[in-house]
């Protein structure tokens, strides 16, 4: 690999906050960046004081690379902060969870009711012998009991490991065993696109694969299957065990560094990692970033479309918003069930003010057409968020115009399971946004762009643009950008405390690459305003005739074509160039374009260097269950290899069909 990443895509549209938004925003004074930079640790201490602590910390940060301890000696409880302190005050009758089931049922749960429900579940878990430090695996559909069970675990000091309800028996067994969970909490089923996902049956299959640590399986009745003979002596029903429990249950005082949860990553790049998060630092960052980035206010109706099986659901459905006493909309099912306007109907029905979703969903909405959102009243919306992948400028603009009606700031948030909370994102009352850029590291977060050989090449800024690079070399010309590898250079409160049970893998994956910095695995470029443009995973970067080219930029150029709904780009081994650019493209419903036209579009948009060698038109792309494109499998297809690990795919038949079609075409 050469030292830096080529920067091709030139996006110069700028969206400053409106005066109206700025005036009412939680943060509107840019001075906060300088204050945080002057002393990040003191800055985070100030933020931690927003939480209720049973006992104060004595040391803000102990840093023994790669392990950080934040707010050492402090005692608190995450459930107390997310539930009790609201239930005991003026928010007691405020709705905490506004839930809609896929078949259409609605439940509105106030903070007072939430506390009672959480206490019942906590007492039920205690009655099963779950104690502080034990692990509980949660394998539930997106029903309120999922959030409640997470909070119940936090209440008694047990760590939860939520496994997304779309995972198979093998995946469930693997995660249960890795965490050595004592209890699995599941349901008889969940609804997804009109079908029932048989969670209990899958759990039974997982147990038969061997889950020796599991003593009890607690089963929620969601579907209403008539109670059949208990098939396994470990099964206990929710009705028998939870409903009659007392609504009193004390909150366990937890050390700031006690385990809060384990969560397995999406598995885009390989075997999932059991990411560990502790209590005080994680909750501090989740809470303040919700307030900053979403501008969360008392009267907001906040809708995050993620599943609690992903980190986004942990930090931005449960812990972050609820630490702020927010009203959170939770939806069980698919965005196109019964029709493709389901999200827009939900927004209209409940007057949603903040929407947080993923680029993969936005591209699907674009493909389905604007008539679905146009048919609903979206006037309650005031802010839009994006997370999960780089957002292509074209999708950003569509989101801004068609959903936000040009009124709502768009916040593109870069972070990962390992970082716990948002790291790079706009502050909507301060930052002028640029489509496709996550903009700048949040106050208190220090990030850099590195060369492949480990030099810090972050441009140092002056009023007129670059002054120099951090490593002392001359600054690039004005208007140019610096492309390389993203690094986080200062410890932050929400950072993972490791991979569960595997400190060596933790060191190797994240800390071997650079001697002093955290390596997230993503490429980035930084422009002359100090804005970060995430370029996708470093593993996916292509090396074409000596140039490092990011998949994201070529994909964005393709998506920029009016006929293209989605594109995935990979580097395919080429005997002369090293790698040749190969694209898989899905066209918009009813649209058409020739391969030559698409190649020409890329060449015209970002340069001949990035012109794809071949483009394969297809109907679907292989994605993880969290909706991310799995490029490594597309490389296997293009290079005629056997497919690698497909266990984290949402639908393994897609990539098999793609492989057959591709091989037919290639002859
Ligand atoms: P695994 O680590 O197991 O391969 P994963 O990385 O997909 O899985 P997550 O932690 O859910 O698991 O995803 C984090 C990654 O998603 C980031 O490292 C980055 O590649 C991508 N990502 C998330 N948000 C953004 C964003 N706003 N812009 C660009 N990339 C993003
Ligand atoms: Mg990752």
Whether 400 is covered by a domain: the verdict is no
Which one of 416, 485, 539, 551 would you pick to mutate in the ligand 1 pocket, going by the greatest count of ligand atoms within 8 A of its CB? 416
Q: Are 438 and 527 in contact (CB under 8 A)?
A: no
Whether 507 is covered by a domain: the verdict is yes
Angle between helices 40-48 and 31-38 (to 10 degrees): 110
The Cα-based distances of 185 to 199, 212, 214, 234, 364 in angstroms read 10, 16, 11, 12, 32
Whether 396 is covered by a domain: the verdict is no
Instruction: Indicate if 158 and 240 belong to the same structural domain.
Output: yes
Predicted confidence at residue 561, as pLDDT, reads 97
Whether 339 is covered by a domain: the verdict is no
Ligand 1 contact via 440 beta carbon (within 6 Å): no
Number of Cβ within a 10 Å radius of residue 505: 14
Q: How confident is the model at residue 227 (pLDDT cuts 50, 70, 90)?
A: low
pLDDT digits (tens, 9 = 90+) for 131-145: 999 999 999 999 999
Q: Give the Cα separation of 447 and 466 in Å (integer).
A: 17
Arithmetic mean of pLDDT, 265-294: 93
- Residue 462: pLDDT over 70: no
Number of Cβ within a 10 Å radius of residue 639: 12
H or E segment and range at residue 504: helix 503-506
Predicted confidence at residue 10, as pLDDT, reads 82
- The model's pTM: 0.96
- Residue 238: pLDDT over 60: yes
Going from the Cα of 416 to the center of ligand 1, the distance in angstroms, rounded, reads 5
Q: How confident is the model at residue 529 (pLDDT cuts 50, 70, 90)?
A: confident
Q: Are 165 and 195 in contact (CB under 8 A)?
A: no
Ligand 1 contact via 268 beta carbon (within 6 Å): yes
Whether 181 is covered by a domain: the verdict is yes
Instruction: Indicate if 134 and 215 belong to the same structural domain.
Output: yes
Which two three-digit tokens encode residue 547? 């140039």
Final residue belonging to a domain, choices 255, 282, 301: 255
Which two three-digit tokens encode residue 305? 């479309």
Instruction: Indicate if 485 and 527 belong to the same structural domain.
Output: yes
Predicted confidence at residue 477, as pLDDT, reads 61
Whether 382 is covered by a domain: the verdict is no
Final residue belonging to a domain, choices 255, 284, 315: 255
Q: Give the Cα separation of 289 and 280 in Å (integer).
A: 14
Q: Dihedrals φ, ψ of 448, to 5°?
A: -145, 160
Question: By three-state DSSP, how is residue 578 classified?
Answer: strand
Final residue belonging to a domain, choices 197, 222, 255: 255
Q: Dihedrals φ, ψ of 472, to 5°?
A: 95, -10
Ligand 1 contact via 551 beta carbon (within 6 Å): no
Q: Which of 327, 393, 395 is nearest to 361 (CA)?
A: 395
Predicted confidence at residue 268, as pLDDT, reads 77
Predicted confidence at residue 237, as pLDDT, reads 95
Question: Domain range for residue 607?
Answer: 541-666
Predicted confidence at residue 65, as pLDDT, reads 94
How many Cα atoms are found within 13 Å in the side-chain-facing hemisphere of 224? 2
Predicted confidence at residue 528, as pLDDT, reads 83
Instruction: Indicate if 560 and 505 belong to the same structural domain.
Output: no
Q: Are 141 and 313 in contact (CB under 8 A)?
A: no
Whether 502 is covered by a domain: the verdict is yes
CATH of the domain at 213: 3.40.50.980
pLDDT digits (tens, 9 = 90+) for 283-305: 999 999 999 999 999 999 999 99
Facing residues of 191 across strands? 196
Instruction: Indicate if 523 and 577 belong to the same structural domain.
Output: no
Instruction: Indicate if 545 and 529 belong to the same structural domain.
Output: no
Q: Which of 142, 28, 50, 8 is nearest to 555 (CA)?
A: 8
pLDDT digits (tens, 9 = 90+) for 7-42: 888 888 999 999 999 999 999 999 999 999 999 999
Q: Average per-residue pLDDT in the chain?
A: 94
| Percentage of the chain modeled with pLDDT above 90 | 87
Instruction: Indicate if 512 and 647 belong to the same structural domain.
Output: no
Arithmetic mean of pLDDT, 475-496: 86
Ligand 1 contact via 612 beta carbon (within 6 Å): no
Q: How confident is the model at residue 665 (pLDDT cuts 50, 70, 90)?
A: confident
Q: In terms of residues, how long is the chain?
A: 667
Instruction: Indicate if 558 and 645 belong to the same structural domain.
Output: yes
What is the number of the ligand 1 atom nearest to the C-alpha of 311? 11
Q: Which of 485, 475, 474, 483 is nearest to 452 (CA)?
A: 485
Rg (CA), the chain: 24
Predicted confidence at residue 271, as pLDDT, reads 78
- Residue 229: pLDDT over 60: no
Q: How confident is the model at residue 589 (pLDDT cuts 50, 70, 90)?
A: confident
Going from the Cα of 170 to the center of ligand 2, the distance in angstroms, rounded, reads 21
pLDDT digits (tens, 9 = 90+) for 159-195: 999 999 999 999 999 999 999 999 999 999 999 999 9
Closest-CA residue, ligand 1 atom 17, reads: 416
Instruction: Indicate if 580 and 509 belong to the same structural domain.
Output: no
Q: Are 256 and 74 in contact (CB under 8 A)?
A: yes
């Amino acid at each position: 690999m050469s030292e830096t990443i080529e920067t091709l895509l030139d996006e110069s549209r700028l969206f400053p906050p409106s005066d109206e938004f700025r005036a009412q925003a939680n943060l509107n004074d840019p001075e906060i960046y300088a204050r945080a930079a002057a002393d990040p640790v003191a800055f985070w201490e100030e933020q931690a004081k927003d939480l209720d602590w049973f006992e104060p910390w004595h040391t803000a940060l102990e840093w023994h690379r790669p392990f950080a301890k934040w707010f050492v000696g402090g005692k608190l409880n995450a459930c107390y902060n997310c539930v009790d302190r609201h239930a005991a005050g003026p928010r007691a009758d405020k709705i905490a969870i506004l839930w809609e089931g896929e078949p259409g049922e609605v439940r509105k749960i106030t903070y007072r009711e939430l506390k009672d429900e959480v206490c019942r579940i906590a007492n039920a878990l205690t009655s099963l012998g779950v104690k502080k430090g034990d692990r509980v695996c949660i394998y539930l559909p997106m029903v309120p009991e999922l959030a409640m069970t997470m909070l119940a675990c936090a209440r008694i000091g047990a760590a939860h490991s939520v496994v997304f309800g779309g995972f198979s028996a093998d995946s469930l067994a693997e995660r249960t065993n890795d965490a050595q969970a004592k209890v699995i909490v599941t349901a008889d089923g969940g609804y997804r696109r009109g079908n029932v996902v048989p969670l209990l049956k899958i759990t039974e299959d997982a147990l038969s694969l061997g889950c020796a640590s599991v003593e009890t399986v607690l089963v929620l009745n969601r579907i209403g299957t008539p109670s059949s003979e208990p098939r396994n002596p470990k099964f206990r029903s929710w009705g028998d065990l939870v409903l009659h429990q007392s609504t009193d249950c004390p909150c366990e005082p937890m050390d700031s560094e006690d385990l809060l949860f384990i969560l397995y990553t999406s598995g885009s790049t390989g075997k999932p990692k059991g990411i560990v998060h502790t209590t005080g630092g994680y909750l501090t960052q989740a809470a303040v970033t919700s307030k900053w980035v979403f501008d969360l206010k008392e009267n907001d109706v906040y809708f995050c479309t993620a599943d609690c099986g992903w980190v986004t659901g942990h930090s931005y459905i449960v812990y972050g918003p609820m630490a702020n006493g927010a009203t959170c909309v939770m939806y069980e099912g698919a965005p196109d069930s019964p029709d493709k306007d389901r999200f827009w109907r939900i927004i209209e029905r409940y007057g949603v003010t903040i929407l947080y979703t993923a680029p993969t969903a936005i591209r699907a909405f674009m493909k389905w057409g604007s008539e679905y959102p146009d048919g609903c009243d979206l006037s309650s919306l005031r802010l839009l968020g994006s997370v999960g992948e780089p957002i292509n400028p074209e999708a950003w603009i569509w989101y801004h115009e068609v959903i936000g009606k040009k009124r709502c700031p768009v916040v593109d948030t870069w972070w990962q399971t390992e970082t716990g909370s948002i790291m790079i994102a706009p502050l909507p009352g301060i930052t002028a946004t640029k489509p496709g850029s996550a903009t700048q590291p949040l106050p208190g977060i220090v990030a850099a762009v590195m060369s492949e050989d480990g030099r810090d090449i972050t441009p140092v800024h002056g009023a007129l643009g670059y002054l120099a690079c951090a490593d002392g070399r001359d600054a690039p010309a004005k208007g140019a950008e610096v492309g390389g590898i993203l690094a986080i250079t200062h410890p932050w409160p929400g950072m993972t405390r490791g991979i569960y049970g595997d400190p060596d893998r933790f060191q190797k994956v994240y800390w071997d690459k650079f001697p002093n910095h955290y390596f997230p695995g993503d490429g980035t470029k930084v422009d002359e305003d100090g804005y970060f443009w995430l370029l996708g995973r470093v593993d996916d970067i292509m090396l074409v005739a000596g140039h490092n080219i990011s998949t994201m930029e070529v994909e964005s150029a393709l998506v920029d074509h009016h006929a293209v709904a989605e594109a995935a780009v990979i580097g395919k081994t080429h005997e002369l160039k090293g790698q040749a650019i190969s694209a898989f493209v899905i066209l918009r419903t009813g649209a058409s374009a020739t391969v030559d036209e698409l190649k020409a579009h890329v060449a015209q948009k970002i340069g001949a260097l990035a012109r794809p060698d071949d483009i394969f038109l297809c109907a679907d792309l292989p994605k993880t269950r969290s909706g991310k494109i799995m490029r490594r499998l597309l490389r296997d297809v293009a290079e005629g290899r056997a497919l690698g690990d497909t266990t984290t795919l949402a639908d393994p038949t897609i990539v098999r069909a793609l492989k057959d079609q591709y091989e037919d075409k290639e002859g």
